[in-house]
Chains A and B, each alone.
Chain A
Amino acid sequence: MNRRFTCIVCPNGCEITAELDGGKIVSVAGARCKKGGAYVRQELTCPRRTFSTSIILEGGKLPLVSVRLTKPIPKEKIFAVNELIHRQKAQAPVRIGQIVLENVLGLGSDVIITKNADRLS
């Protein structure tokens, strides 16, 4: 059986065709680099994603500050993690890299601030 994947690891977005036998990959074609094969393997076992969102910033010039995950998490956990993140608040000033949630839900990824924001003086 053949299955098609769009690799999301880099902007090339290679269309990869994987030949499968049961759960096993017999061959992959279409990937422009090695990461493509690894991506397909992961999609078959446990698809993972990262995402970004914002949290409320108190005492800053902007009402929000952006955050992201440092590592991909299982795809089906996106909404649970998103909800948890939205319950957080940050106090200005904040700096890029500051950790908002460590090892979120035990999934091995941190949630970090992605923007510097000063206090509103």
Chain B
Amino acid sequence: MEHQYDCIVIGAGVVGNAVARQLSACSVTIAVLEKEQDLCFGTSGRNSGVLHAGFNNKTGSKMARFCVEGNLEFDRIAEELDVPFKRTGKLIVGFSDDDKNSLRAMKAQGDANGVPGLEIVGKERIRELAPFIAGEFAMYSPMTGILNPFIYTVALAENAHKNGAAYFFACPVTDIFYQDGRYRITAGGRNFASRWIINCAGLESDKISALLGIKGHKLYPCRGEYFILDKKAGQYLGIPAYPVPNPREGGLGIHLTPTIDGNILIGPSSKYIEENDNYSVTQDIMDLLIKDGGRIFPYLKREYFIRNFAGIRPKLVGPQEGGFADFVIERRSEAPYAINLVGIESPGLTSALPIAREVVRLIREVEPLKPNPGFDPVRKGPPAFAGLTNGQRRALIQQNPDYGEIICRCENITKAEVLEAINRPLGAATVTGVKYRCRPMMGRCQGGYCQTRITELLRQEKKLAVKEVLYQRKGSNMFTGVALK
């Protein structure tokens, strides 16, 4: 059987889902093909979660334009999609004269990009904004914010799905050819046909480009490692604090970012690697993170560490060149019915919706897309017990006693939330999927208490045999079987 659509989006990261949602506002049929078992298993689940303001990017670039646009509209988007978000502002702290010059240049670039409110501030203002952060002076950006990247990615997908987009998981696209006015796509043993393809395959987008017949894009994976700090440390930092970036590095420097849930991230480092799916953390970089992180956050303590992780940047510039290349968002003559997105690295999370609008604009250059009259931009997330008042909690438990059963002891996440994460449309199919949607196992005990409960609920709800429970990717089976038969 062949599944037929007007538009097929490859990749269910933040960009693919934003594109699917934007398209779902038009009268077209849409499918999203994702190679992993769930949403958000690529770069969109492995970043700093910062809503950038747009001063880091070259004036006139797509990066600058889309980042500023994405930043300015985000209060409305967060409201519409029920995404945890806070406009914290951000400090880029400097110590030397060179730093000061760099900060001035950065401010000028930001002003030119249309970033509101940038200021160079002194020590006193740093103390006010972030009492535990070191620095002689800083640039303060009031528009920068923090958001929950998992929920944002999931929310975009849920909303696209609600408005008609179909999702296929465990569907790696392995072959594409164009025939009789349609793309024929082979993915995960299934066949699809579509008039349009939108390549949102992140780290694999160069390979998909090649399948589309577009030559000349090569991605260089560049890994960034992080430490996650306990909420105990979170009280010391309410605002992201960055160093002045080294322009050669192609990252923003090792920074400290509070997460929307109250932890702190230290990182990311910046190291070119060979494989685009090796999420290792390394001893050298861990030591570096502690050293560099400690420079701007002198209160850093070993006992705060609860976890490490790594993300990989899909860079269009190799280690020799360094720095950043602009986003590639193109429609090329080699593949006139494909919109090709390559090198969507930082600030891709911030820019996802403006990028999606650009995709729709490029399609409209070729064919008119009628609006979808039934489009509903609103997505409502399930309530999170931990953030409610006792009155609200009482009312919820009365409706549904599962809100009275705590599953995650560190973050007070209830059975009802876990069941909702599994059973919602596009719900979690893996342990990591549950974690991304409602945060159990992210606290300081890292699942010591709740993991056994979550695997049990997954088995029960999805009717899985013991051997079938996955941690994350294909092959990441949690168990080898039952002990006694």
Contact = CB atoms under 8 A, between A and B. Distances in A.
A86 B482 CA distance: 13
Interface string B465-485: 000000000000000000111
B434 to A, nearest CB: 22
Main SS class of interface, B: loop
Interface in A41-60: 54-56
A54 B484 CA distance: 8
A54 B482 CA distance: 13
A57 to B, nearest CB: 10
Contacts of A101: none
Interface residues of A, number: 5
A89 to B, nearest CB: 9
A56 B484 CA distance: 7
A64 B485 CA distance: 10
Contacts of B484: 54-56, 64, 86
Nearest to A86: B484
B62 to A, nearest CB: 56
Interface in A64-80: 64
A56 B485 CA distance: 7
Contacts of B485: 56
Contacts of A64: 483-484
A79 to B, nearest CB: 16
A117 to B, nearest CB: 15
Interface string B41-77: 0000000000000000000000000000000000000
Contacts of A55: 484
A68 to B, nearest CB: 16
A102 B483 CA distance: 24
B457 to A, nearest CB: 16
Interface string B441-485: 000000000000000000000000000000000000000000111
B465 to A, nearest CB: 14
A64 B484 CA distance: 9
8 contacts: A54-B483, A54-B484, A55-B484, A56-B484, A56-B485, A64-B483, A64-B484, A86-B484
Interface of A: 54-56, 64, 86
Interface of B: 483-485
Given A56-B484, A64-B483, 6 more contacts: A54-B483, A54-B484, A55-B484, A56-B485, A64-B484, A86-B484
